[in-house]
Amino acid sequence: MEGFIAWPREFAQEYRKAGYWIDKTIPEVMEESFVKFGSRTALITSQGTEYTYEELGALSTRLALHLKNLGLSPSDRLVLQMPNIAEVVISYLATLKAGAIPIMALSAHREAEIGYFAELSEARALGIAADWRGFDYQDMAASVQAKNPNLKMVLVTKGTPNEGYHSIDAMLQDPIEQRVDPKSLPRPDPDLPAVLLLSGGTTGIPKLIPRTHNDYVYNFLRNAEICELDENTVSLIAIPQEHNFALACPGLMGVLSKGGCEILSDNPSPQAMMELIERYKVTHCVAVPTMIVGMLNHSQRSMFNLSSLKTILTGGSKLNPEIAVRIRPELGCEVQQVLGMAEGPLYWIRLNDPEEVKLHTQGRPQSAGDEFKIVDPTTGKEVDAGKVGELWCRGPHTIRGYYRAPDHNARAFTDNGFYKSGDLVRLHHSGNVVVEGRIKDCINRGGEKISDEEVENHILAHPAVANCAYVAMPDPVLGERACAYVILRTKMELTLKALNDFLLNERRIAKFKLPERLEVLDAFPLTAVGKINKNALRDKIAGAIGQERCA
């Protein structure tokens, strides 16, 4: 596939020999579960819909046949953008069954992001919910289509489709499998991309991450083992289903591979999460640290029966040890940390690790086939044991390159295929890594990653702005929020509201990327080589916030 970088042959051979790659496609592995666990409940949504394994299997095959009928061909890209509703799961599985490649967008994305993914991937289809939380996704689809003639097919759920668009709900009602043989669905090559994930943590504009059937199947099967999932697992997912953590770490597919049940919720508030934990006797809760803090500090926590909870799986941003120690005494369950990346690397705590390791480190590689180094990013030489350096990773579930991004790949990967994560870590004496910071220019807003450069480009388009720097400021709830430093053009004025109105209405970017503070300067501090000194700006805003809190 053009724009996709495969693992070198000798590595592929080794990964097969070691049994990591089993040459099954994602639909094949899922189908085994649909047959094996037939009448068990596979999925319950916070909107109250429930599906058995059999039903999920049958409905996703039905929709796949309809997609094929509409002209979706093997390897076509489909941008999947839905909130946490059952249709996101069914459409994801159906896209794979049709041999097409879903691009896992977030429902928070807007025209800027969706248009960019559609253009970069030359997507043929877009799957959306008609409108959700007051936003009209069909309007957005029309604008994206106007600029992307490849985007022929818009598939719509939860509402009446506009003219020329197709109703997913109607297709799910129409038993096409009685007319078209499901065996006519294609079988993709397991060495080729199955899914395109979005990069969270990279420097620069967002990238698309090709995950192959072989690498992604291994990813979720291995994660399901590490998290000790089984048929009795009830897993609550209230982060976006399209996120790698929710999809495959072990996520939806890990739970389904073991016969468990996923509770999919579109409400990430601590109250809603605790209600669902009690109602469905949730055993495994997937949460970014902000959600854990929310549950721990919720004033009515004692009103909920959380006794079913065995483990909270957490990652996406750093869990402070002070929070980690409160989890067992206050929530009555274990915490299992993961340092994960959509690019593939996964460092997991194991459930039988000593307390010190569980609470103070972010884990070790999921696989014996994973290699990692902690290096001085300027020289590429490994740092002394226990010292902080950049984490570089290579292995059977770590990509060798972003999709259609040759220039960036030359910077983000070493010549021998290590992915330069941009995360600063140190090796704990137990062999686990501890995250100490990062060198990549992005903001981690409660686990949601935002690229500085992407938003800076939008801010620079504002007529009042001469120059800008978008930097992280510390936040007690989300860990970080974004602050925009700007230099204004002569005689111009700008308020945060005016800037954000511009970003939302003119540039049409996702709301979670909006700066939450605006600072106007006459000049920026510069580094020795004349670049904007972002570290100095980050220190400046952190200092200002610290002082305001004390005042």
Tell me which residues touch ligand OOB (CB under 6 A).
200-201, 244-245, 249, 315-318, 337-342, 362, 421, 423, 435, 438, 444, 447, 449
- The phi and psi torsions of 278 (rounded to 5 degrees) equal -70, -50
- The phi and psi torsions of 248 (rounded to 5 degrees) equal -145, 10
DSSP one-letter code for 181: -
Give the distance, in angstroms, between the CA of residue 453 and the centroid of all CA atoms in the same chain. 19
Indicate the residue among 153 and 433 with the shorter CB distance to ligand OOB.
433
Contact 201, 346 (CB under 8 A): no
Indicate the residue among 21 and 419 with the shorter CB distance to ligand OOB.
419
Indicate the residue among 249 and 483 with the shorter CB distance to ligand OOB.
249
What is the total residue count of the chain?
A: 551
Contact 375, 252 (CB under 8 A): no
Quote the tokens at residue 128: 């959306």
Q: Which of 375, 376, 369 is nearest to 394 (CA)?
A: 369
Task: Report which secondary-structure segment, H or E, holds 155.
Answer: strand 153-157
Quote the tokens at residue 61: 């095959």
Cα separation of 454 and 433, whole Å? Answer: 29
Residue 144: Cβ-neighbour burial (10 angstroms; 0-12, 13-18, 19+): buried
Give me the least distance between CB of 198 and ligand OOB, in Å please.
Answer: 8
Quote the tokens at residue 392: 């570089």
CA 416 to each of CA 338, 390, 433, 525: distance values in angstroms, whole numbers, following the listed order = 26, 16, 22, 37
Cα separation of 102 and 94, whole Å? Answer: 10
- The phi and psi torsions of 45 (rounded to 5 degrees) equal -105, 160
- The phi and psi torsions of 226 (rounded to 5 degrees) equal -60, -35
- The phi and psi torsions of 449 (rounded to 5 degrees) equal -95, 140
CA 353 to each of CA 224, 309, 335, 359, 369: distance values in angstroms, whole numbers, following the listed order = 17, 19, 11, 10, 20
The two most distant CA atoms of the chain are separated, in Å, by 72
Torsion sign, CA atoms 49, 52, 57, 58: negative
Give me the least distance between CB of 200 and ligand OOB, in Å please.
Answer: 3
Position of minimal CB gap to ligand OOB: 340
How many other CB atoms are there within 10 angstroms of residue 441's CB atom?
Answer: 19
Indicate the residue among 37 and 392 with the shorter CB distance to ligand OOB.
392
- Can the peptide bond before residue 515 be classed as cis, meaning omega within 30 degrees of 0? no
Indicate the residue among 225 and 275 with the shorter CB distance to ligand OOB.
225
